[in-house]
A and B are shown apart, each in its own frame.
Chain A
Amino acid sequence: MTARWKTGLPLALAVALLAAWDAAVRLSGSDLFPKPLDVAAGIVELGRKGLLHKYIVASLFRVTIGFGLAVVIGVPAGLLLGWSTRLFYAFNPLIQVFRPISPIAWIPVAILWFGVDDRAPIFLIFLASVFPITVSAIAAVQNIQQNYIRAARNFGLGRLELFRRVIFPATLPQVLTGIRIALGVAWLVVVAAEMIAVNSGLGYLIIDARNAGKRYDLVVAGMVMIGLIGLGLDLVVRRLERFDEVRWGYAR
């Protein structure tokens, strides 16, 4: 397929879906559910009032802090647990118990501990993303080709050097994949958390637009923004996967 087709086809599909959406709303005669143009107008309105910018920044801020903490703690923890069999046996059951608990289930606890401010969603985002990151880092270390370790030891590398020059680069592709998955989850969770635990952000925008005046054009506008930013975040991380230092780790 040529490049033109690769962008042309999804664009054509998007246009067709928008047209179908528009037609469906008109045919149903609903005056509550917005048409595509209403949503676009909603986005413009939010922008003019300065809310769009404010809410996006609020959401991104929470994700940056919560997710950043998860990376800073999860990656080293995972590498360590993957390397040390003893630590792995000690901590793995705990991780496996906490991992399946949906971050949503933590919302009441988070509000109890932190009240209605930024710390609650940050805590939830941290919880949601730290497990995928840790688990993928553990697996990455455990799956390192034995030959790399042997070759490195053969060249006389000490423990720290081994970590820096072999284990870290060897695990980087898989760790990055974990980070990408975790970022997607973090973005899902920030919206859910903002619906309940704070009064700003894109999640808050959605719930507020509905509660305050049944402004479904703004509800859908919020959803569209969430989707677009999620796509953007994923593209950024995918960019990282193209660097020569990690590209070897992904199938063509």
Chain B
Amino acid sequence: MSQPDVAVRIANLSMSFPGKGTDEPIAVLSDVSIDVRRGEFVCIVGPSGCGKSTLLNIVAGFLPHTQGDVLVEGRPVRGPDPRRIFVFQESAVFPWLTVRENIGFGLSGRVRAEREKIVAHYVEMVGLKGFEAAYPRELSGGMRQRVELARALASNPDIIYMDEPFGALDFLTRLKMRADLIRIWQEERKTILFVTHDIEEAVQQADRVVVMSRRPAIVQEVVPITLARPRDLDAPGYLAARDRIFAAMGMSHTVGDAPPASRSAAGPDADVVIIGGGPAGAILGAYLGQAGVSHLIVDKAVHPRPHVGESLICSTTRVFQDIGFLPVLEREGFVRKYGAVWTRAGDPSTRTLRFRPMPHLGVLQEHTYHVDRARFDDLLLGHARVRGSRVLEGMTALGVDFDARGFASGVRARPDDGGPERVFRGRIVVDASGRGTVLGTQLKLKRNDPLFDQFAVHNWFEGVDRGPAGTADFIHVHLLPTPRAWLWQIPISATVTSVGIVTRRDDFVQGGESPEAFFRRHVASHPEFARRMAGAHALHDWTREGNYSYVMDRFAGDGWLLVGDAARFIDPIFSSGVSVAAESAQRAADAIVAALKAGRVDETAFARYETTVRAGVELWREFILLYYQLPGIFLDLMATDEGQAELRQILQGQVYDVPSAPVVDRLRRQLDAVKADPEHPLRREWVPL
């Protein structure tokens, strides 16, 4: 018999899905019991894929369950009910109705005047006044979720079920939505059952947080949050509650697994400590968050970050799909990149390569993106938070500590505001510090790559003529008469274009010019491109970046890994920067999850990671070297369908876990032929390195 103030009673609930064929059924929920009181705000947190969404769908009556009871107001749930409205993660706002019609959707039984009054009230409450007649496609993601929330509230339900309702929104919008939800809940006093994998979100909102384990999910812990609202995110009580949930979630992945290999008496701050919140660190964080591995990111957060690498390549789409970041890229309106164009000074023909989907990698879209790196990096780090990363901003990592056995044991860092030095302990330390190369420098692993001693000068421009309309949104690489010198042309927005020159370092040093004079001189050496720049004006100060390429002797060791630029930096002519970050972060995440599960974090656990990533980047390096020695052959190859198909493998970034790259073999053979034969017709094209 239910107590009078219990709105939802979940009692000994178990759920399993039938397995494929003769497989065992897959247990999703195991003996879950939760009571939600009337007017209470309860958050359910747990690692991605743990079954918390399934739980909510059962409670809402969309799914049947295998065992146990679900009672709402004392009655078993038999199906969906208008007195309990479900708010979906992917907006279920009806796109064919206006904001007003959507919000009034559940009110069709009321007389018109009354309906209009209610709709107006909730339009006002969620801050959509002035948008009543707009259609959902004209609204931002955050506004669409507001419409959905208003639609739920307007039908005056007793209970609202929310399934990661802010999951697809960017970080700042999420913060705002949470604050608004709390305000509305305080006004309306509905019962809210809210599912999220974001611990901060749970602690900011809930009266009680129910922590679920990995699948099959059990209730790991129930944490009451008694703090007054609005909540101070730096208050000791807030931090304590958050850390308690972190601990509960961090423990969850070792339940039933081997005991932790080494843990000091006080216990680590997290299983994994990541230095740097750039793309590599953020992507790694997102993967670890999804896998339910406790981790934190120590981030210097210098804004804007240096931003070479504004163009992405197609293979990164796979990674962005994995971590759910693709909708963010689309929503934020980054310029789509459908291919690449090469031109050469004095050569009227241009070469165009159009990207293709890579279904075997699960990449079905033809385009990737050009990105404003400052904004992109911010969004990516925000997304890692969404996926469960704890990010400590304003912390400069000073170095990595090692324990008596020689295992990395933590990261020493100093707050940028001058506070005392701190040590963040973890079982695994990952250096994603980019070109800061914290750990590589500390361990003296860094070797400069003499073949790529290069230098870049770049800026953003308005008024650049991007060439024919069909390829205006492609990346353009303009090859210059000076050996190994080239310009990039990358569309950043409808009007802004990034243009930069890359050349050998001594080429710049010997000239003794200002960056601008140097830039202008090189642009002038490519008359066709110079014409396109005729009406352009620079938007910022000139940025110089030098001392370009390096490699670390090792990418991993006992308790540590290097990812992204912190491991290897190569000439960015083929937009490889973010790709190296993404691919290495994904593989590092796999290695880390397996290592923690096996309870072994010594270097053997990361051997395969190092081999794969090193082989991939080396393949790239060799390709770039061959390219610089024989740019003419590269352009010829681009003129044939067969050559384009071979090139696409590399240029779309499929260099990891591949047995070979035919195009590299082909270029190598041709280079050997040119070298061996002084009479070779391409001999004068050869640029020896």
Q: Which residues of A contact B (CB under 8 A)?
A: 1, 145, 147-148, 150-151, 153-156, 165-166, 169-170, 172, 244-249
* Shortest Cβ distance from B85 into A: residue: A154
Q: Is B94 an interface residue (CB 8 A)?
A: yes
By a CB distance below 8 angstroms, the chain B residues around A155 are 82, 85, 105-106, 155
Given contacts A1-B469, A155-B155, A248-B137, contact A147 B92 (CB under 8 A): yes
Determine if A248 and B136 form an interchain contact, defined as CB atoms under 8 angstroms apart. yes
Determine if B94 and A169 form an interchain contact, defined as CB atoms under 8 angstroms apart. yes
With A and B bound together, what is the CA distance between A150 and B92 in angstroms? 9
Would you list which residues of chain B between 87 and 108 have a CB under 8 Å from chain A?
88, 90-92, 94-98, 105-106
By a CB distance below 8 angstroms, the chain A residues around B95 are 248-249
* Shortest Cβ distance from B86 into A: residue: A154
Determine if A247 and B90 form an interchain contact, defined as CB atoms under 8 angstroms apart. no
With A and B bound together, what is the CA distance between A118 and B504 in angstroms? 79
The 3 A-B pairs at the shortest CB distance, nearest first, are namely: A248-B95, A147-B92, A156-B82
- Per DSSP, chain A at the interface is helix
By a CB distance below 8 angstroms, the chain A residues around B96 are 169-170, 172, 244-246, 248
Determine if B88 and A147 form an interchain contact, defined as CB atoms under 8 angstroms apart. yes
* Shortest Cβ distance from A172 into B: residue: B96
Given contacts A248-B136, A248-B137, contact A154 B80 (CB under 8 A): yes
User: How close is A251's CB to chain B, nearest CB, in angstroms?
Assistant: 11
Q: Is B342 an interface residue (CB 8 A)?
A: no
Given contacts A156-B82, A248-B137, contact A150 B469 (CB under 8 A): no
With A and B bound together, what is the CA distance between A247 and B136 in angstroms? 11
* Shortest Cβ distance from B79 into A: residue: A153
Determine if B60 and A154 form an interchain contact, defined as CB atoms under 8 angstroms apart. yes
* Shortest Cβ distance from A246 into B: residue: B96
Determine if B82 and A151 form an interchain contact, defined as CB atoms under 8 angstroms apart. no
With A and B bound together, what is the CA distance between A154 and B94 in angstroms? 14
Give 20 new A-B contacts, CB below 8 A, not counting A150-B80, A156-B106. Answer: A147-B88, A148-B92, A150-B86, A150-B92, A151-B92, A151-B94, A153-B79, A153-B80, A154-B60, A154-B82, A154-B85, A154-B86, A155-B85, A156-B82, A165-B105, A169-B94, A170-B94, A244-B96, A244-B135, A249-B95
* Shortest Cβ distance from A244 into B: residue: B135
User: How close is B670's CB to chain A, nearest CB, in angstroms?
Assistant: 40
With A and B bound together, what is the CA distance between A145 and B136 in angstroms? 15
Q: Which of A150, A169, A245, A247 has the most CB of B within 10 A?
A: A150
With A and B bound together, what is the CA distance between A165 and B107 in angstroms? 13
By a CB distance below 8 angstroms, the chain A residues around B94 are 148, 151, 166, 169-170
Q: Is B416 an interface residue (CB 8 A)?
A: no
Would you list which residues of chain B between 430 and 480 have a CB under 8 Å from chain A?
469
Determine if A145 and B92 form an interchain contact, defined as CB atoms under 8 angstroms apart. yes
Given contacts A155-B155, A169-B96, A248-B135, contact A150 B105 (CB under 8 A): no
Q: Is B62 an interface residue (CB 8 A)?
A: yes
Determine if A150 and B137 form an interchain contact, defined as CB atoms under 8 angstroms apart. no
User: How close is B148's CB to chain A, nearest CB, in angstroms?
Assistant: 8
Q: Is B81 an interface residue (CB 8 A)?
A: yes
Given contacts A169-B94, A245-B96, contact A151 B86 (CB under 8 A): yes
Q: Which of A172, A247, A248, A249 has the most CB of B within 10 A?
A: A248
By a CB distance below 8 angstroms, the chain A residues around B60 are 154
Would you list which residues of chain B between 50 and 65 have a CB under 8 Å from chain A?
60, 62
By a CB distance below 8 angstroms, the chain A residues around B79 are 153
Would you list which residues of chain B between 541 and 593 have a CB under 8 Å from chain A?
none
Q: Which of B80, B90, B91, B469 has the most CB of A within 10 A?
A: B80
By a CB distance below 8 angstroms, the chain B residues around A151 are 86, 88, 92, 94
By a CB distance below 8 angstroms, the chain B residues around A170 are 94, 96
By a CB distance below 8 angstroms, the chain B residues around A246 are 96
User: How close is A53's CB to chain B, nearest CB, in angstroms?
Assistant: 40
With A and B bound together, what is the CA distance between A91 and B464 in angstroms? 58
Determine if A247 and B137 form an interchain contact, defined as CB atoms under 8 angstroms apart. yes
User: How close is A67's CB to chain B, nearest CB, in angstroms?
Assistant: 25
With A and B bound together, what is the CA distance between A1 and B86 in angstroms? 46
* Shortest Cβ distance from B105 into A: residue: A155
Would you list which residues of chain B between 123 and 144 have a CB under 8 Å from chain A?
135-137
By a CB distance below 8 angstroms, the chain B residues around A165 are 105
With A and B bound together, what is the CA distance between A145 and B93 in angstroms? 11
With A and B bound together, what is the CA distance between A153 and B96 in angstroms? 17
With A and B bound together, what is the CA distance between A170 and B62 in angstroms? 20
Given contacts A169-B96, A245-B96, A248-B96, contact A147 B80 (CB under 8 A): no
Residue pairs across A and B with Cβ atoms less than 8 A apart, 21 shown, are A145-B92, A147-B88, A147-B91, A147-B92, A148-B92, A150-B62, A150-B88, A151-B88, A151-B94, A153-B79, A154-B82, A154-B86, A156-B106, A165-B105, A169-B94, A169-B96, A170-B94, A170-B96, A244-B96, A244-B98, A249-B95
Given contacts A155-B82, A155-B106, A156-B81, contact A147 B136 (CB under 8 A): no
By a CB distance below 8 angstroms, the chain B residues around A247 are 135, 137
User: How close is A145's CB to chain B, nearest CB, in angstroms?
Assistant: 7
* Shortest Cβ distance from B136 into A: residue: A248
With A and B bound together, what is the CA distance between A169 and B106 in angstroms? 16
User: How close is B80's CB to chain A, nearest CB, in angstroms?
Assistant: 4
* Shortest Cβ distance from A173 into B: residue: B96
By a CB distance below 8 angstroms, the chain B residues around A147 are 88, 90-92
* Shortest Cβ distance from A252 into B: residue: B137
By a CB distance below 8 angstroms, the chain A residues around B88 are 147, 150-151
With A and B bound together, what is the CA distance between A245 and B135 in angstroms? 9
With A and B bound together, what is the CA distance between A166 and B95 in angstroms? 10
By a CB distance below 8 angstroms, the chain A residues around B84 are 154
* Shortest Cβ distance from B148 into A: residue: A151
